[in-house]
Structure 1
């Protein structure tokens, strides 16, 4: 779907507070998701320069740490 350029540029001009609120709601609901380039928060940094600046400056988007551990050897990883 091709969106008019005006629509895309209007989205980039939303107030910072509104963008921050939207970005937080874009995050996965579970704490156990593997980060991917096509998923929030990384995807949000790829929309436009302004969205990147806002997203990078939001610590709440980057405060989760996902660690994949083999279920059979998890005790070895904890030592």
Structure 2
């Protein structure tokens, strides 16, 4: 688009009143074209947003169904129990901490929780720390793993801090 003011662009030129009217008249067409493009962009953006929303819904369906195909779901329970046991620390007894096995294993999903609770050897050794609290506050209510040991005799080291 040829402008009669091309030579004045990028300078300190101060338009006269007549030049200002001429510039306004010149800008009318590009402004209309920009408005038209803005409307088209808005329409396309709306269509794109609808497509992205539809894709997100499909992605959610795909992701949840692909989870069903996970190989870990087909692993036999006895093999999972062995893996759980391998997660236990070897250099010390288990600390009853939600960030470590065996408690952590029960926080993954309901199936892992049921399996970890049904594995007595996971709960056969634990570490209890005496924090100097009165006995009524540190009773067996805080040691539900005692019932989970099954036939195993638990190993319970006792450390005073």
Paired residues, what number? 68
Higher strand share: 2
Q: Structure 2 unaligned segments of length 5 or more: list them.
A: 1-62, 130-158
Q: Structure 1 unaligned segments of length 5 or more: list them.
A: 72-79
> Greater relative contact order: 1 or 2 (C-alpha under 8 angstroms, separation 6 or more)?
1
Q: 4+ residue runs of structure 1 moved beyond 4 angstroms?
A: none
TM-score (norm 2): 0.37
Larger radius of gyration: 2
- Aligned-CA RMSD value: 2.3
Q: 1:33 to 1:57 in 2, by over 3 A?
A: closer
TM-score (norm 1): 0.68
**Quick check: 1:70 aligned with 2:160?**
yes
Higher helix share: 2
Distance 2:127 2:94 in 1: 7
Partner of residue 17, structure 1: 78
